[in-house]
Amino acid sequence: MAQINSILNTQYSKHIIVVCGEPSGDLNASLLAEGLKKLNPEIKISAIGGELLRKAGAEIFFDIAGISVMGIFDVIRRLPKFFALKKLILKKIAEEKIDAIILLDFSGFNLRLAKAINKKIPVIYYISPQVWASRPGRIATIKKYISRIIVIFKFEKEFYKKYGVDAEFVGHPLLDIVKPIQEKNEFLKRCGLYENKATIALLPGSRKSEVKNILPIMAKSAELINQKMPNLQFVIARSHNVELNIYKEIIDNFKIDAAIIEGRTYDCLNIADFALVCSGTATLETAIMQKPFVIVYRMNLLNYLLYRPQVKLPYIGMVNIVAGKKIIPEFIQFNTNPEKIAETVLGILSDETKLSQIKKGLSETSFLLGPSNAAASAAGIILNQF
């Protein structure tokens, strides 16, 4: 009997590597790992990831803390780390029996890694590189070195089809996790906020550089909005990747009273009547929560001048890209003027027609994000590869 169990375990257990490089990638990788473990409890997952992926049952052999990059200069500074990391992964593939490697986003590193693996094992890409936005030349690399590609936006499937790539659409994993933990009234009390005041949430990003660049703009905008609408209160969604003192040092320069709450973004959005949101995953989270908002984004000037010409889309916010039209105002780089932002927010808040149009657009966009259970569907596709 013991021998039979041993044979069965050998037959059904698999060993895969998962590679991500950003906090959002760690979240999506953790959801995928949970799906894989549910379908095959014996599967072994080794990973480049963070705390969420570790909690999902993966063995982290390289922690992503410190490798998240923002722009070309961040990449250059961390090149030695990236070379060492690629060497480490290739060594693990050479020395152990690895059945497949799953890449999530982090395309600058992951596509080079796929090329270095050179089909020695199946390479599956989940959370596709955004080649539809910039650098479409990478499609040739994807066609040559990626065994299977799984996408989270419906338009991505259609985009890849034009280039002869059979991508599988599973829907966006955020649909299954974007929900508050606490009731609105309970959370307001926890934050020391009032039920009879309108609340504006500030989501300045998950990276230290984003918070330093964007929170001062949001805080000044909030100060100007508050001058015109005194019966307001503010809450800041703090990323666990950024030290509390950074937020406090910025907020102390402005005349606003804001509660800074760590790790409870969805609860912060749940109590909000409006939000100022950093471009990125947070725009989709806010859309799913059906909260009207504006997008604010500024990066290092040289990074922006190098990056912007590569982008072929008219919008930067994912919510507008998915909608195929501008439903949310964008204030990007040279246009991040607090006076303009405040004027726009006040104009929306005082106009029920504008508010209704935004809410309608957000509802339609959430529908376009596809079916639920995306991570479970992706896990099923991946395990069917073996």
pLDDT tens for 229-285 read: 998 999 999 998 899 999 999 999 999 989 999 989 999 999 999 999 999 889 999
Q: What angle do CA 171, 179, 34 make, to 5 degrees?
A: 55
Instruction: Report, at the CATH architecture level, how domain 2-172+371-383 is classified.
Output: 3-Layer(aba) Sandwich (3.40)
Domain with CATH 3.40.50.2000 in the chain: 2-172+371-383, 184-368
Rg (CA), the chain: 22
State the number of CA atoms in the 13 A half-sphere of 371 facing the CB. Answer: 10
The string of pLDDT tens digits covering residues 190-205 is: 899 999 999 999 999 9
Contact of 86 with 80, CB cutoff 8 Å: no
Say what the pLDDT of residue 1 is.
Answer: 41
Q: Tokens at residue 189, please?
A: 């009390």
Amino acid at 94: A
Query: Hey, which bits of the chain come out as E strands?
Result: 15-19, 44-49, 59-63, 100-104, 123-126, 148-151, 167-169, 198-203, 232-238, 258-262, 274-278, 293-297, 330-332
Cβ atoms within 10 Å of 39's Cβ, excluding its own: 14
CATH H superfamily, domain 184-368: Glycogen Phosphorylase B; (3.40.50.2000)
Structure tokens at 147: 């065994």
pLDDT digits (tens, 9 = 90+) for 332-345: 999 999 999 999 99
pLDDT tens digits for range 121-155: 999 999 988 888 777 889 999 999 999 999 999 99
pLDDT at 357: 95
Question: Do the beta carbons of residue 105 and residue 24 sit within 8 Å?
Answer: yes
